[in-house]
Amino acid sequence: MPAFSRVIGIDYSGAETPNAGLKGLRVYLAEGDLPPREVSLGEVSPPSSPRKYWTRKGVAEWLVKRLGEDVPTLVGIDHGFSFPLPYFEAHGLAHDWPTFLDDFQRHWPTDEDHTYVDFVRDGTAGNGAARIGNARWRRLTEQRAGGAKSVFHFDVPGSVAKSTHAGIPWLRFIRQRLGAHVHFWPFDGWDIPAGRSAIAEVYPALWSRDFANEGRTGDQHDAFSIAAWLSRANRDGSLAAFLSPDLSPSERTQAEVEGWILGVQGSTPSLSRAGPQRPKASTVATRPTLNASDSGSTKVCPECGHVFRGGTWGGIDAHWKAVHGQIMPYEVAWPIIKAGGKPSAK
């Protein structure tokens, strides 16, 4: 029996201010066996923004309403929920997520009206200079995810730094409003109590190629893919395994501070999927295999030299999108590179 009655997938955006309608901020919802559908502002009463697109403030307020209902709901949001342990150590912070949320919001008040993330970065708002990190610092879950970037890696294709710095204060907002009514995984525990709603960090690049695009924009498809994968894993029973990744006791303790991306395996640094991939072999192009003349290794990205472990290309598509900002699938882009061309960058 599914643990949740509905799932919500959110493709986040750290652009502009909390009050600004953002085209890149998309919300999809799936109930029961029904496919995910986009949730528009027309369904929100009163509307959270005079514009036609969601605002970060509007999404947070809407989630408080939905998660306050007696309907077990799993929400996936694609920005970092916490920072690497070196950040806690550099700033003398306790290894405690609720304390981190309060401290971060005091220094990065990106939930305040008319506040851009860049205002804090530039020193015109908050006190971000007292709480900065290093782009070389990555959480354990980002290391295991393959192509996931550091939450401090700003201003590069595939960056989640701005959305993370914009979104964390809103996690605090939801937590303050709902208290124990919502479970923040894995900070409140790896096991989600029966009947409880939960919010988890996700990485849509893990799953976006599992589902046909069907005319959606990139942001819409990411939100759709989050909801579709969560719904599938919830209904086919595989979600429980992903909520308990294979981590050592010390790694589990670390992840309870740094957070964990739902869907990333524990001990194996590769991408995770619930159940078999849906595309049939006849409809998916054969994965190119590099030889020594191509890159010197059958497991090396020809663009940056990233080594893929385990003797396979697992993770290349997420790496290709997140690190190199490519729209084209790897098997389409690589022949263009070999011919001396340049694939279209996102």
Distance CA 312, CA 289 (A): 9
Distance CA 216, CA 224 (A): 9
- Provide the H-helix boundaries in 136-193: 140-145, 161-178
Tell me, yes or no, whether 48 and 192 share the same domain.
yes
Greatest Cα pair distance, the chain, in angstroms, is: 61
Tell me, yes or no, whether 124 and 194 share the same domain.
yes
Tell me, yes or no, whether 207 and 296 share the same domain.
no
Sheet holding 6-11, edge to edge: 37-38, 26-31, 6-11, 73-77, 197-201, 182-184
Tell me, yes or no, whether 71 and 184 share the same domain.
yes
Distance CA 66, CA 81 (A): 20
Instruction: Give the residue-averaged pLDDT of 192-220.
Output: 94
Distance CA 165, CA 162 (A): 5
Which of 259, 276, 293 is the C-terminal boundary of a domain?
A: 276
Tell me, yes or no, whether 104 and 146 share the same domain.
yes
Tell me, yes or no, whether 264 and 291 share the same domain.
no
User: Does a structural domain hold residue 135?
Assistant: yes
DSSP 8-state assignment for residue 11: E
Tell me, yes or no, whether 219 and 269 share the same domain.
yes
User: Does a structural domain hold residue 16?
Assistant: yes
User: Does a structural domain hold residue 306?
Assistant: yes
Tell me, yes or no, whether 263 and 308 share the same domain.
no
SS3 for 248? Answer: coil
- Please report, as a single letter, which amino acid is at residue 23: K
Domain with 58, as residue range(s), is 1-276
On the CB side of 217, CA atoms within 13 Å amount to 11
Q: Please tell me the total count of domains within the chain.
A: 2
Instruction: Tell me the sheet residues that pair with 51.
Output: none
Tell me, yes or no, whether 53 and 185 share the same domain.
yes
Mean pLDDT (the chain) is 84
**pTM for this predicted structure:** 0.77
User: Does a structural domain hold residue 162?
Assistant: yes
Tell me, yes or no, whether 305 and 228 share the same domain.
no
DSSP 8-state assignment for residue 281: G
**Per-residue pLDDT tens for 305-319?**
555 444 445 556 666
Instruction: Tell me the sheet residues that pair with 27.
Output: 10
User: Does a structural domain hold residue 134?
Assistant: yes
Alpha carbon of 298 to those of 269, 293, 307, 314, 341: distances in Å?
17, 10, 9, 12, 22
Q: Is the pLDDT assigned to residue 100 strictly greater than 90?
A: yes
Instruction: Give the residue-averaged pLDDT of 64-85.
Output: 98
Task: Please report which confidence band the pLDDT of residue 35 belongs to, taking 50, 70 and 90 as the band edges.
Answer: very high
Tell me, yes or no, whether 302 and 173 share the same domain.
no
Task: Please report which confidence band the pLDDT of residue 157 belongs to, taking 50, 70 and 90 as the band edges.
Answer: confident
Residue 118 neighbours by CB under 8 Å, 6+ apart: none
First-last CA distance in the chain: 40
Count the Cβ atoms, other than its own, within 10 Å of residue 215. Answer: 7
Give the pLDDT of residue 305. 53
Residue 235 neighbours by CB under 8 Å, 6+ apart: 2, 33
The percent of residues above 70 in pLDDT, for the chain, comes to 75
Tell me, yes or no, whether 251 and 331 share the same domain.
no
Per the listing, tokens 């307020």 go with 61
